[in-house]
Chain A
Amino acid sequence: MSIGGFILRNAVRNKRRALLSILSVAVSLFLLVTLLVGLRELTQPPTDEASAARIVVRNKISLGNLLPRRQRATIEKIPGVAAVTPFTWFGGKFRDEEVMFGQFAIEPKLLLTIFGEAKMPPEQFEAFVNDPTACIIGIKTAEKYGLKLGEFMKLQGTFWPIDLNLKLVGIYADGIDDRNLFFHHRQLDEMPNNTGEVGTWWVKAASLEDVGPVVQTINAAFANTTAAVRAETERAFQLSFISMWGNIKMLVLSICSVVVFTLVLVSASTMSMAVRERFRELAILKAIGFRRRELFAFILAESFGLAAAGAVIGVGGAWGIFNHTDLVASASQNFMVLFEVTPRIMGQACFVATLLGIVASIAPSLSVARMSVVEGLKTLD
């Protein structure tokens, strides 16, 4: 029998214990991966290549304050600006429920110029541009509510004092976020008692080099007006949005560390139980002439094996569920869309598993080192 075979046979000798150890490692690693993925989802906004050239302009006081429509002309004249669209959050109720998909009023003509990623049939886009009462939505929302082209969607305004009745003319897919609804900003502009305000301006810079100067020029242009603005790159805007979540990152990180700690604790104890169970056997090996170093190697190999098996099940399971099913998206009612296990997160989890394998073998190795042959042979249970 080879040494490897011996280790394997040892590890699965008590099948129930091996299984329980592997499963507890798997559950904990699964949880760890879930938290890391969730953290990434919350703190790292989805981005693409085009987003680097996009600039968001909001009211300097806060995002909760609006901007006057007249600013558009000023921004459009700034050199390096390729296109400007108003971008206003509507936040209406749909079918009498508070919804998790964004509803934005924009300039339809510029949709593809500024947000070029999403795919939709050209004739649907055409229909959207030509009909001021039309709207388009992402495929995820369409599927969730079972919406079909030609259908009318009633949105009850909460932030805006207006109810909209929009005709669905297009469904897009493969955008950054396939949940959002877009409609003509004209709907808001033509509202009764309209004060002519927009939520934010989204600006596309002509090239990446233009982004910095454009941001500066926009900020300076309105600095001493009643509506001073803050212009920033889309990424910076998203990050400031995330920072409003407050201590969530800290919270998730501390939970992660508690999980990792618990994991190490439980697995280490399982391992030492497994070793204690065959103290006698190890003593016999010692008597036969195995050296301490080799006994340590046995323990370490076994400990690693259990941790690795747990990692395969836990991390692999998370990868399978999160990256290949829509379970999380549907469970969180599309609050978490992306939820994907990245190679980096896999690496982190595997690192924790490796660490676990080492830490778990310390205590048993110590007791084996201390054990005398005679004493070990005497141990009965």
Chain B
Amino acid sequence: MTDAIRAEGLVKEFKGKRALDGIDLTARTGAVLGVLGPNGSGKTTTVRILSTLLRPDAGHAIVGGFDVLREPHEVRRQIGLTGQYAAVDAELTGTQNLVLIARLLGFDRTQARARSGELLERFGLADAGGRPAKTYSGGMRRRLDLAASLVGRPGLLYLDEPTTGLDPHSRNGLWEVVRGLVNDGVTVLLTTQYLEEADHLADDIMVLDHGRVITQGTPEELKNRAGDQVLELRTVDGGQLSLAAKIVEAVTSAPVNSDGLVASVPVEDSAVLPEVVRRLDEQGVAVSELSLRKPSLDEVFLALTGHTAQATTSDDEGARG
């Protein structure tokens, strides 16, 4: 199998601030690479370099077999880009938006209309094709934007935070569409700040923070890498939770995190479970829920970066300067 994207040592500075600090990246053909990170971590800058919109200060990248710096036109023939903002003309109808792109890509009038109709149908916009895009809901606009990036049937699709700002229903709809594209053999590079999204869609995940790759692997590997399992418990009487936490702490000798309802603690060996249960029973703590689970990607992110994914230092806007 060949790689759809192979980038090495990408560096980009904006006004002295380092947005990318030496990023290596590989996207397998036919797979979904999830680039995960908080605002300002360099996700958008990475996508803009790989889609030829931005020149890196150092490093190089091969996309679809072509060099982004030396053969940008060839790269553009391979890719589709859906940016953070729905980049459609609000005044134009859905059909007009798609026909315009198709005509630019060399379709004749008839082909362009046919392709536009096909895409509107596929993205559930067939009835809205004649209406200006400004009358669309947020989810519909994103779908039209995605359709626009697929007019030329690209083999590689960049999705830069495709679901930011969407309601859960629209988000699920978009996830379905992305899965469908992957089934058609499209390679997808997806950036997201939602760990859940990467977990759902990505075959491989790369975690970015402050312009560096913190870690990468499959979602499963990442969860394993945070190592431990998490023991979670609730007590019937909330007042007993702190007592329960002390007991668990004594057994696991790891700090217990309690939010007042649930106490959770990473454990290295599941053999501690019987011991925890025995001691809780001895102390007369009535447990309503006790479980052992893999850590969520949120917990993985916290463990790897020392801060949560939601903590915002600055935003990716600098990349647009």
Binding partners A and B: no
Q: Which residues of B approach A to under 8 Å, CB–CB? A: none
